[in-house]
């Protein structure tokens, strides 16, 4: 298994290295779909220049990355290309091992269920075989590394790649059952971009399942574990924030990073939903809608955690997708992270209904983004509405994709309990309809 | 969401669409053509009107009376030009200075990738001279441009003369709120390109030019003038720019309004306005005018010096004086008054021209079809591709869905993916070869064959194009053995979706090009299967291939201009159009050649491949 993975890594690195050397790299780095004000490499360079001059990098409202990033690149700025390629490789390898481990567990669980004869008789079509699961981890790594979105993001040196690396390390350590590392990486991810906070619930659910702690609010062991995890998480978060303060000598970074993410002052167009809406809005509604939009990212955690408490890894996938769609400065790099998980759910394909439609719409939108951008910004003949319409359709397609997977997952679970071919009361075949 | 989530309704809809696929596609195609023909029928479309209030309500009185002086200056310019054997730079600088302008010059040089045989140039060296008249009334943040080219022959002297006299006249007026730049550019569009790149301090095509010493404000509008006789019978407006970009319709309206006011005959595409839309000849006149405009727009090259301004978000048109055998003549004074009036109105602008349409088709100067009118015609034709894709998808995912809508997706084995991917990759590589080889290989071709460099480029392009027909349809068999029934369906699905995205994007950027390609490629794309009779289908495919479309367009264009071509001339013109397309791409960055070579042609090759699928 290691040979195909290393071959894949070589191919991926070659593509990236070739693109870094071509004239396209500069063009790609300018695309608003690939870099946001948070993640643009240009801004990191600006921050570094300010730091070298002895000025706070956050003076001047250009740089919005966390202090850790700037201190890392303080040493690595000459090796930036290598760093970004390594980050992508790290994501792929971490996801590869995480998914392999997860699949083993799924298979073990399925074996127990089969031995206990828990599945209905007509559900054997739904049982997953080791043969089909064998290549899933490799496919995950391939979906991440060869996804054009990831390649673009890496070639643009968007720091989104580093955030993805942290998140994938968190997923790996969680799946491996390492509580401390999981908490630390989650804290690091939160420190980087706040939103991964929502992954907390999924991590807790997973770790408790693994340690056979009942998920029951009346039990002391439940609360004890939550407290332990919260302590580790908050502790490491506190250490990171404190460290940033001591490195920088001021609290400038709090408003410049987290205030910037939460209050969305930069309305540069991107593939998200915020910019147009807030550009059009009357100023006195701004705070209200800001709260509505930001709560939107977090609010789904509660119902999804309740519904998917048995399936925390699927919950992580859903949360990543929600973040990529609803966060304030999304880029295609965020999209590529959750898309890497699609092969894990390949066994749902028989229940998926709109994937062909959705993938066509996503492809069309990806082609339309640069065209409409050109018409709006360079030719001056179209306007912002054209571009925003594409953004809306792009996000709609993503939501549809997510809903489709969610529905398919639940439906499979339903069939595993109630049988694949449900009968009506009168004995005829029933149809399941989502209304 | 009911349609997407309820399996029964969804199945019913898909059944309906697959059963009636062919008739619906046919109807869509016919409806698209009928809709398109309706765009030239006056009662169906809008009258043009001035949207920009700053230009609409203000009265302007034109007092220019220096027509005679303009002709004298033109004669002197001609004498000086002959003496200097090119652009009389010193004389122009002196004359402009004497008229009180700030005068600057810019030198430029450009080596073309291969000799341009139409204009007989290879190494181009030249000088632009421009004079700035600073606006007396405002802080000089905005400017207007009046330009005239200095060409090799004596065919634009009157324009330069009028420009110089206009400069003197306009300088004495007090109401100017925008700087006016008077530009005389050498080597037509190459000079204009150098000047614009210098003015905006960009370099997109690797041109050598000296930086500009003086600038005025941001250019709001530009007008370039072409006059080659002392009197004109009518004025023709040219507005199609680089890559099919059009200026704001208000600028065209402005020209039309002043022609009406001053009483000059104005034409569009060289055709006069007619008022008998209800007669057959009147309607066909409108159709011809619109089709001429579409062919010009689809060519993607700039049809006058104005076309390069549009890239910089500057609205621009060219006014061309035409002297035919008509009785009624207009002298230079009247043309000058027209220019004065237009500049006065442009001077009143408070912001860039943006109120009116940027996407329009003009069947006459008084009527226009905006984007919302012409896009359905394209949409009706493009939807055929989506319907075919749906049909193919339904066939691929058959056996039909079970009762509860569970689609039984048969996992295609990896060989199928490979057999689809191979033709796609090879077609696109052929496209890359078509894009790069002609210019790269010209030297080798000239060494080995008795052809000139230009011929070498064009013939290499045609050779690669033809070789592409032989190449790809054999390749997938080496990789994966026999192609399967499922295989070509998947390939066709990919090709159809590829084409639909491609045409959609093209139609947004350049409607005419998108529509012409859709009109010709969609029937092929919808109909082609490996089971069709090979020879007739292959002939139809070749006839409707991108190169043949170009050949027909050349003939149709000349037919519409009422200068029919013999086949021999048409063929030669076709060859020169190809070389012009490549030159336009390398000189000015026109996108039509790369679009056709890198995307349209490979896409067409996929359909060729499907026909010979075994």
Least confident of B210-214, B221-225, B277-281: B277-281
pLDDT for residue A191: 93
CA B3 to CA B1: how far, in whole Å?
5
Inter-chain touch A430–B404, beta carbons under 8 Å:
yes
CB B350 within 8 A of CB B54: yes
Identify whether the C-beta of residue B107 lies closer than 8 Å to the C-beta of residue B129.
no
Smallest Cα distance from B498 to chain A, Å: 9
What's the alpha-carbon Rg for chain B, to the nearest Å?
27
Q: Is A360 on the interface with B (CB under 8 A)?
A: yes
Q: Which residues of A touch B393 (CB under 8 A)?
A: 356
Identify which of B358, B409, B505 has the shortest CB distance to residue A381. B358
Residue A431: which of B393, B403, B504 has the nearest Cβ?
B403
Poorest-confidence range of B75-79, B513-517, B529-533?
B529-533
Q: Is A419 on the interface with B (CB under 8 A)?
A: no
Are the beta carbons of B358 and A349 separated by less than 8 Å? no
Residues on chain A touching B311 (C-beta within 8 angstroms): 378-379
**CA nearest to A365 within chain B:** B501
* Residues A51-93: tens digit of each pLDDT: 889 888 888 788 888 998 888 898 888 898 999 999 999 999 9
Lowest mean pLDDT among A117-121, A196-200, A266-270, B15-19: A117-121
Mean local confidence (pLDDT), B464-493: 72
**Cross-chain residue pair A353–B408, CB shorter than 8 Å:** no
Distance from CA of B303 to the nearest CA of A (A): 17
Asked whether the beta carbons of B199 and B311 are under 8 A apart, the reply is no
Query: Is the Cβ of A431 closer than 8 Å to some Cβ of chain B?
Result: yes
Q: Other CB atoms closer than 10 Å to residue A124's CB: what's the count?
A: 10
Residue A379 touches chain B, beta carbons under 8 Å? yes
ipTM summary value: 0.86
What are the DSSP calls for B51-94, one per residue?
A: --HHHHS---------HHHHHHHHHHHHHHHHHHTS--HHHHHH
Quote the pLDDT of residue B354. Answer: 84
pTM to 2 decimal places: 0.89
Chain A residue nearest residue B409, CA to CA: A350
Share of chain A above pLDDT 90, in %: 54
Report the pLDDT averaged over residues B131-141.
84
Half-sphere exposure of A31 (CA within 13 A, CB side): 26
Across-strand partners of B181?
Answer: B132, B145
Hey, how many other C-beta atoms are within 10 angstroms of the C-beta on A263? 15
Are A349 and B393 a contacting pair at CB < 8 A? no
Q: What are phi and psi of B412, to 5 degrees?
A: -70, 140
**Chain A residues within an 8 Å CB radius of B411:** 349
Task: Examine the pLDDT at A273 and tell me if it is beyond 80.
Answer: yes
Q: Which one of B6, B406, B591 would you mutate to disrupt binding with A, by most A Cβ within 10 Å of its Cβ? A: B406
| Cβ-based interface (< 8 Å): residues of B facing A | 2, 4-8, 10, 245-246, 310-311, 313, 352, 354, 358-359, 389, 393, 403-409, 411, 497, 501, 504-505, 508-509
Q: Sheet containing B102-116: which strands, arranged edge to edge?
A: B208-209, B102-116, B121-133, B179-186, B142-150, B218-226, B315-322, B234-238, B266-268, B271-272
Residue of B241, B509, B513 to mutate, testing the A interface (most A Cβ within 10 Å of its Cβ): B509
Provide the shortest C-alpha distance from residue B352 to chain A (in Å).
10
| B387 neighbors B62 (Cβ within 8 angstroms) | no
Of A27, A351, A353, which to mutate for an interface test with B (greatest number of B Cβ within 10 Å)?
A353
- Predicted local distance difference test score (pLDDT) of residue B410: 42
**Is it the case that residue B476 has pLDDT exceeding 80?**
no
Whether residue A350 and residue B509 make contact (CB cut-off 8 A), yes or no, is: no
Does B400 have pLDDT greater than 50?
no
Cβ–Cβ below 8 Å for B6 and A433: yes
Closest Cα in chain A, distance from residue B608 (Å): 23
User: Do B501 and A429 count as a contact with CB atoms less than 8 A apart?
Assistant: no
Nearest CA among A70, A74, A58, A54 for reference residue A258: A58
Taking an 8 Å cut-off on Cβ atoms, the answer to whether B6 and A379 are in contact is no
A418 contacts chain B (CB < 8 A): no
Confidence of residue B561 (pLDDT cuts 50, 70, 90): confident
As a three-state string, the secondary structure of A237-306 is: HHHHHHHHHHHHCCCCHHHHHHHHHHHCCCCCCCCCCHHHHHHHCCHHHHHHHHHHHHHHHHHCHHHHHH
Cα B240 from Cα B318, distance rounded (Å): 9
Determine which of A70-79, A304-313, B380-389, B483-492 has the lowest per-residue pLDDT on average: B483-492
Answer yes or no: do B404 and A431 touch at CB < 8 A.
Answer: yes
Q: Which of A129, A348, A356 to mutate to test the interface with B (most CBs of B within 10 A)?
A: A356
Instruction: Chain A: give the shortest CA distance to residue B311, in Å.
Output: 6
**Rounded Cα gap, residues B229 and B157, in angstroms:** 8
B508–A375: do the CB atoms touch at under 8 Å? Answer: yes
Strand, coil or helix: what is A208? helix
Cβ within 8 Å, pair B508-A371: yes
User: Which spans in A22-147 are helix H?
Assistant: 24-30, 41-52, 67-76, 80-115, 130-134, 136-145
Confidence of residue B515 (pLDDT cuts 50, 70, 90): very high
Nearest Cβ partner for B7 among A350, A380, A433? A433
Instruction: Answer yes or no: is pLDDT of B407 > 60.
Output: no
Write down the pLDDT at residue B58. 62
Please, what is the average pLDDT of chain B?
Answer: 85
Q: Using an 8 Å Cβ cutoff, are B296 and B232 in contact?
A: no
Highest mean pLDDT among A198-212, B154-168, B460-474: A198-212
Report how many Cβ contacts below 8 Å link chain A to chain B: 73
B273-315 pLDDT per residue, tens: 888 878 888 889 999 999 999 999 999 888 888 989 998 889 9
B402 pLDDT band (50/70/90 cuts)? very low
At A391 the pLDDT is 94
Preceding omega of A320 cis (within 30 degrees of 0): no
* Whole-number pLDDT of residue B486: 76
Cα–Cα distance for residue pair A321/B36, rounded to 1 Å: 43
Report the gap between the CA of A414 and the closest CA in chain B (Å).
14
Q: How far is A24 from chain B (nearest CA, A)?
A: 14
Cβ contacts (< 8 Å) between A431 and chain B: which residues?
7-8, 403-405
- Round to whole Å and give the CA distance between A71 and A371: 37
Query: Per-residue pLDDT tens for B581-600?
Result: 998 998 898 899 999 999 99
- Taking the CA of residue B514 and the nearest CA in chain A, the distance in Å comes to 13
């Amino acid at each position: 298994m290691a040979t195909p993975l290393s071959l894949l890594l070589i191919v991926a690195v070659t593509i990236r290295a070739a693109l870094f050397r071509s004239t396209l790299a500069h063009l790609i780095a300018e695309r608003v779909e690939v870099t946001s004000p948070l993640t643009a490499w240009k801004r990191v360079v600006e921050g570094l220049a300010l730091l070298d001059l002895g000025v706070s990098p956050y003076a001047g409202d250009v740089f919005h990355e966390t202090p850790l990033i700037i201190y890392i690149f303080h040493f690595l700025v000459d090796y930036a290309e290598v760093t970004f390629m390594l980050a992508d490789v790290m994501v792929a390898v971490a996801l590869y091992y995480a998914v392999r481990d997860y699949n083993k567990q799924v298979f073990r669980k399925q074996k127990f269920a089969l031995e206990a004869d828990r599945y209905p008789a007509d559900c054997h079509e739904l049982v997953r075989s080791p043969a089909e699961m064998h290549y899933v981890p490799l496919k995950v790594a391939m979906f991440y590394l060869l996804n054009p979105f990831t390649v673009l993001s890496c070639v643009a040196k968007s720091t989104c790649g580093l955030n993805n690396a942290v998140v994938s390390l968190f997923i790996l350590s969680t799946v491996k059952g390492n509580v401390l590392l999981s908490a630390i990486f989650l804290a690091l991810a939160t420190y980087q971009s706040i939103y991964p906070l929502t992954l907390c619930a999924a991590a807790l659910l997973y770790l408790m399942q693994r340690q056979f702690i009942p998920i029951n609010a009346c039990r002391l062991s439940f609360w004890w574990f939550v407290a332990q995890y919260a302590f580790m998480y908050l502790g490491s978060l506190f250490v990171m924030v404190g460290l940033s303060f001591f490195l920088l000598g001021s609290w400038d970074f709090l408003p410049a990073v987290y205030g910037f993410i939460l209050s969305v002052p930069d309305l540069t167009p991107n593939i998200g939903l915020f910019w147009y809406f807030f550009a059009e809005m009357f100023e006195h509604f701004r705070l209200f809608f800001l709260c509505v939009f930001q709560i939107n990212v977090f609010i789904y955690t509660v119902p999804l955690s309740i519904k998917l408490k048995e399936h925390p890894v699927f919950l992580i996938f859903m949360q990543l997708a929600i973040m990529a769609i609803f966060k304030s400065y999304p880029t295609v790099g965020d999209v590529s992270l959750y898309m890497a998980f699609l092969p894990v759910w390949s066994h749902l394909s028989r229940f998926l209904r709109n994937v062909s439609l959705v993938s066509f719409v996503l492809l069309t939108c990806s082609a339309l983004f640069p065209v409409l951008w050109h018409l709006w910004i360079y030719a001056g003949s179209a306007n912002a509405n054209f571009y925003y319409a594409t953004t809306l359709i792009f996000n709609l397609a993503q939501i549809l994709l997510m809903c489709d997977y969610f529905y398919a997952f639940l439906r499979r679970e339903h069939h595993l309990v109630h049988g694949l071919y449900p009968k009506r009361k009168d004995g005829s075949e029933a149809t399941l309809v989502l209304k | 969401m009911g349609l997407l989530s309820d399996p029964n309704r969804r199945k019913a809809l898909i059944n309906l669409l697959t059963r009636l696929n062919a008739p619906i596609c046919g109807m869509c195609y016919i409806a698209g053509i009928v809709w398109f023909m309706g765009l030239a029928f006056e009662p169906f479309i809008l009258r043009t009107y001035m949207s920009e209030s700053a230009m609409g309500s203000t009265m302007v009185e034109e007092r220019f009376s220096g027509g005679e002086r303009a002709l004298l200056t033109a004669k002197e310019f001609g004498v000086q030009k002959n003496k200097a054997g090119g652009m009389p730079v010193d004389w122009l600088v002196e004359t402009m200075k004497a008229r009180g302008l700030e005068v600057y010059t810019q030198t430029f040089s450009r080596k073309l990738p291969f000799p341009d045989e139409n204009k007989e140039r290879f190494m181009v060296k030249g000088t632009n001279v421009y004079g700035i008249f600073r606006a007396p009334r405002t802080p000089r943040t905005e400017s207007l441009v009046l330009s005239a080219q200095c060409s090799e022959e004596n065919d634009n002297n009157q324009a330069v003369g009028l420009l110089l006299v206009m400069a003197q006249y306009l300088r004495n007026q007090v109401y100017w709120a925008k700087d006016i730049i008077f530009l005389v550019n050498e080597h037509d569009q190459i000079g204009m390109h150098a000047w614009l790149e210098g003015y905006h301090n960009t370099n997109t095509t690797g041109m050598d030019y000296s930086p500009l010493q003086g600038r005025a404000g941001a250019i709001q509008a530009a007008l370039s003038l072409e006059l080659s006789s002392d009197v004109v019978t009518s004025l023709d407006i040219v507005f199609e720019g680089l890559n099919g970009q059009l200026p704001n319709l208000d600028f065209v309206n402005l020209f039309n309004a002043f022609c009406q006011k001053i009483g000059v005959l104005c034409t569009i595409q060289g055709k006069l306005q007619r008022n008998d839309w209800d007669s057959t000849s009147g309607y066909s006149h409108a159709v011809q005018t619109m089709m001429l405009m579409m062919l010009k727009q689809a060519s993607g090259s700039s049809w006058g010096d104005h076309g390069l301004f549009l890239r910089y978000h500057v609205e621009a048109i060219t006014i061309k004086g035409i002297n035919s055998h008509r009785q009624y003549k207009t002298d230079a004074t009247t043309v000058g008054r027209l220019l004065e009036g237009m500049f006065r109105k442009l001077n009143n602008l408070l912001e860039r021209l943006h109120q009116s349409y940027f996407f329009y088709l003009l069947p006459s100067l008084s009527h226009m079809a905006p984007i919302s009118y012409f896009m359905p015609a394209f949409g009706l034709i493009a939807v055929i591709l989506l319907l075919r894709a749906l049909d193919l998808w339904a066939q691929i995912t058959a056996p039909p869905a079970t009762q509860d809508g569970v689609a039984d997706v048969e996992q295609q084995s990896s060989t199928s993916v490979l057999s689809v991917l191979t033709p796609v990759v090879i077609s696109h590589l052929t496209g890359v070869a078509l894009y790069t080889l002609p210019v790269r290989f010209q030297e080798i071709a000239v060494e080995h064959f008795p052809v000139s460099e230009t011929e070498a480029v064009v013939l290499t392009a045609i050779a690669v194009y033809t070789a592409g027909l032989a190449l790809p349809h054999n390749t997938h068999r080496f990789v994966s053995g026999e192609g399967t029934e499922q295989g070509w369906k998947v390939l066709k699905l990919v090709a159809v979706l590829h084409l639909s995205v491609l045409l959609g994007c093209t139609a947004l950027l350049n409607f005419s090009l998108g529509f012409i390609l859709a009109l010709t490629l969609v029937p092929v794309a919808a109909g082609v299967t490996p089971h069709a009779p090979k020879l007739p289908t292959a002939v139809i495919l070749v006839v409707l291939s991108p190169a043949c479309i170009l050949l027909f367009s050349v003939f149709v264009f000349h037919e519409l201009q009422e200068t029919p071509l013999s086949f021999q001339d048409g063929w030669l013109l076709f060859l020169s159009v190809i070389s012009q397309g490549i030159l336009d791409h390398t000189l000015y960055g026109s996108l039509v050649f790369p679009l056709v070579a890198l995307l349209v042609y490979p896409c067409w090759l996929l359909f060729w491949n499907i026909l010979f699928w075994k």
